[in-house]
Amino acid sequence: MSELSSAFQRCGIEPGEHQGGSLAVRSPVDGAELARLHETPASQVNEIISRSKAAFLKWRNVPAPVRGELVRLWGEELRQAKQDIGYIVSIEVGKIIEEGLGEVQEGVDICEFALGQSRQLCGKTIVSERPGHRIMEQYHPLGPVAIITAFNFPSAVFAWNAALALVCGDPVIFKPSEKAPLSGIATFKALERAIARFGDKAPEGLAQIVIGKAPLAEALVDSSSIPLVSATGSTRMGRAVGPKVASRFGKRILELGGNNAMVVTPAADLDMALRAILFGAVGTAGQRCTSLRRLIVHRAVKDELLQKLLKAYSTLRIGNPLTSGTLVGPLIDEDAYDAMQKSIRAAQEQGGKVLIGGERALEAEFPKGFYVHPAIVEMPEQTAIVRHETFAPLLYVLTYDDFDNAIEVHNDVPQGLSSCIFSNDMREVETFISAAGSDCGMANVNIGPSGAEIGGAFGGEKETGGDRESGSDAWKQYMRRTTNTINYSRELPLAQGITFV
């Protein structure tokens, strides 16, 4: 625990902040208590929102490239704290240390992206049908943004949203998952240090954090003073958040469930596919929204691929995520383990055959940690349980004969986040990424479904939410758009040729 205390100290988390509170934070590694955090009283939420509104009135007038300087400083602070925040992510969430460090790197990368974006918040100039007129679009700051994150990416998702919101002129209020608040606090502390370095151009209340359980998130979702709510979590959570925000005519960014598939054709490089399957299906113990859940493989190569896959699964190193060489850490908690067991039983009842895995691992060594052997279940068809997302290392194998049928099976699930195909056949590849192919927000070729880069827009369709974060033009969601028509003539012609005297 001394190593954790040292990491807390270097990240700026004082003993009084992580001791003596009511919110117990436990590590999935061994069940040990990591901290007792002080929860934000519900009575303070309105005051926090008021401070954010006041900060907005000042921050929106700071030039965007100057706002970009703040996220540049934040990126510097994240670089310096990368080892410590990555360690906290690993011990709090159960990711192997490489993935913990990779998550912090995502924060660094989005700060670099947002810095460049701060000089490119561009609108269009549009020709007018009327002489002596010009039409142009502008993007203006929107207002306070609430950022509600899930346990599986407790650092990166906050950074994705906050970096863009800040350069767009919006203050942020951060509500980390109660299952992984320490990683969020450490990331937030790096932002606070950047704000201190930035100086008095940053108004009080520009970035705030609330610690606690669902009622705090609900208060942010319900507030008409928060024009944008970004929420990451389950589809069930999205069904609650979406209508509430819509009922008050707010904007939302929902990043919800994924039931991601890989199509492997006879023209695939099977060794490449194997490596992609392993990281996609067992990385983060299958607890990524982009984790590989379904393997749709052509009958001609199924046996060969499964032979390779089963051999690789039998040698996976399961253990303490902080130990070098570990590839699979624990599930987040007992509920996640129970959900996996329930899905395996349902799959068997629906005709599935367990090829490997599913059993609890390392129970003697870690009686309070929920480690499992990643499972592969061969299914006769895409049944109800296969259409259901199970947040665990559970991979379903489906067989196809006809490529069009493979795409049909691929799309026949409620979720639409990430997808991929392994093939060296140009026609198969182009069909998969065409309008008639994958219906997901992300469609990859010869790489797995997880591990998206910052530069592209991240998000999916259908029950995934339909929204986008991170790169491309995702920044537009954090701003309000105006269309301006400017008459520089001495006449007043009306549009559509209307005459009105």
Give me the active site residues, please: 255
- Contact criterion met (CB below 8 Å) for 305 and 395: no
Helices (H) and strands (E) in the chain, counts: 16, 23
* Residue 114: CB atoms within 10 Å: 29
For residue 153, what is the DSSP state? S
Q: Which residues contact 37 (CB under 8 A, 6 or more apart)?
A: 17, 18, 21, 22, 23, 25, 181, 182, 185, 211
Tokens of 489: 């003539």
* Residue 427: CB atoms within 10 Å: 10
- Contact criterion met (CB below 8 Å) for 123 and 481: yes
Q: Which residues contact 115 (CB under 8 A, 6 or more apart)?
A: 68, 69, 71, 72, 75, 167
DSSP 375-391: EEEE-SS--HHHHS--S
- Contact criterion met (CB below 8 Å) for 226 and 386: no
Continuous H helices in 118-234: 156-167, 181-198, 214-222
* Residue 82: CB atoms within 10 Å: 19
* Residue 338: CB atoms within 10 Å: 13
Instruction: Give the C-alpha separation, 314 to 311, whole Å.
Output: 5
- Which helix H or strand E contains 137, and what residues bound it? strand 133-141
- Contact criterion met (CB below 8 Å) for 230 and 145: yes
Burial (Cβ within 10 Å: 0-12, 13-18, ≥19) of residue 101: middle
Distances (CA, A) of 90 to 93, 94, 186: 5, 5, 13
